[in-house]
C-alpha cells in the first residue's frame, strides 16, 4: 500500500513538474509581439476594472449606508448584484458591533453594496423575510436572499469576534469576493461555541430563545 502511495505521489510530482517546464518554455519563447499583446490585454483588463469600480461607487458601494424606507432595499437589490443588509434596532449594542465591522468591510469589498435598515421602520419587509432576531444580516445575490446571519451564533457566539470572521461568514453565501479558505474560519479559537445573549425585535435581552 505504501509503495502504491509513493508511486502516485511521484506521478503527481512529475505531472506538476512538466506543467512548470511547459510554462517556463512558453515564457522563454515569447516574442516582442507576444509581450506587447499581453501588455495590451492587461491594460484592457485594468480599464474594464476601473470602469466597473466607478459604476459600483455611483451605486453607493464603498460606503455603509442607511436605507430610509423599505423600497430602497428592493431598489438596492435590483441595482447591485451583491447586497449585504443589516437589519437593526437603535437600542441594541450588538447591532453597533455589526455596524463597526461592516464599515470596514464595505471599503474592502467594493463589489458588494453594504446597507442597514431599521426593523421598526420596515415592518412589511421584516415580516416578509421572517426576521425575528436582531441583529440579522441578509445576504442577497442576484436579487435573491441566499442566506441570513442571525445573531452571533455563526460568529463564535461571542461579542468580540473579528472582522475577518464576519467576512468569512458572509463569503459562505458568495455575497463578497473571497480568496481565503471557505472551509476553515480565520479564527478557530473564537469560533468555539460559547453562550451569548440574544435579543428579539420586540423583546429585551434573552438567553433562552432566538424568536419572538
How far is it, in rounded angstroms, from Cα 112 to Cα 84?
A: 7
Please answer whether residues 119 and 88 qualify as being in contact, where contact means their C-beta atoms are separated by less than 8 angstroms. Answer: yes
74-131 tens-digit pLDDT = 999 999 999 999 999 999 999 999 999 999 999 999 999 999 999 999 999 999 999 9
Top pLDDT among 12 and 172 is at: 172
How far is it, in rounded angstroms, from Cα 76 to Cα 143?
A: 9
Q: What is the pLDDT of residue 207?
A: 35
Confidence of residue 5 (pLDDT cuts 50, 70, 90): low
Q: What is the pLDDT of residue 209?
A: 32
What is the residue-averaged pLDDT of the chain? 84
Confidence of residue 192 (pLDDT cuts 50, 70, 90): low
Confidence of residue 211 (pLDDT cuts 50, 70, 90): very low
Residue partners of 68: CB distance under 8 A and separation at least 6: 121
Q: What is the pLDDT of residue 7?
A: 72
How far is it, in rounded angstroms, from Cα 212 to Cα 203?
A: 7
Under CATH, what is the fold of the domain 62-190? Glutaredoxin (3.40.30)
Q: Is the pLDDT of residue 155 over 90?
A: yes
Q: What is the pLDDT of residue 202?
A: 47
Q: Is the pLDDT of residue 193 over 80?
A: no
Residue partners of 169: CB distance under 8 A and separation at least 6: 149, 154, 155, 185
Confidence of residue 191 (pLDDT cuts 50, 70, 90): low
Which pTM value belongs to this model?
0.71
In the chain, domain spans: 1-56, 62-190
User: Which sign does the torsion angle of CA 162, 59, 67, 137 carry?
Assistant: negative
Q: Is the pLDDT of residue 19 over 70?
A: yes
Amino acid at each position: 500500500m505504501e509503495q502504491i502511495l509513493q508511486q502516485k505521489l511521484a506521478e503527481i510530482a512529475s505531472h506538476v513538474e512538466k506543467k512548470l517546464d511547459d510554462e517556463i518554455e512558453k515564457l522563454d519563447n515569447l516574442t516582442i509581439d507576444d509581450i506587447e499583446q499581453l501588455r495590451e490585454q492587461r491594460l484592457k483588463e485594468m480599464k474594464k476594472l476601473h470602469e466597473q469600480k466607478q459604476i459600483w461607487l455611483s451605486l453607493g458601494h464603498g460606503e455603509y449606508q442607511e436605507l430610509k424606507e423599505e423600497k430602497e432595499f428592493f431598489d438596492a437589490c435590483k441595482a447591485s448584484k451583491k447586497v449585504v443588509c443589516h437589519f437593526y434596532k437603535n437600542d441594541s449594542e450588538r447591532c453597533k458591533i455589526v455596524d463597526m465591522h461592516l464599515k470596514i468591510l464595505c471599503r474592502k469589498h467594493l463589489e458588494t453594496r453594504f446597507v442597514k435598515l431599521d426593523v421598526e421602520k420596515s415592518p412589511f419587509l421584516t415580516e416578509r423575510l421572517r426576521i425575528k432576531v436582531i441583529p440579522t444580516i441578509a445576504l442577497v445575490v442576484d436579487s435573491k436572499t441566499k442566506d441570513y446571519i442571525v445573531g452571533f451564533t455563526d460568529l463564535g457566539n461571542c461579542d468580540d469576534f473579528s472582522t475577518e470572521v464576519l467576512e468569512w461568514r458572509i463569503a459562505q453565501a458568495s455575497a463578497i469576493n473571497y480568496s481565503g479558505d471557505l472551509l476553515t474560519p480565520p479564527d478557530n479559537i473564537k469560533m468555539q461555541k460559547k453562550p451569548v445573549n440574544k435579543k428579539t425585535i420586540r423583546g429585551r435581552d434573552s438567553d433562552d430563545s432566538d424568536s419572538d
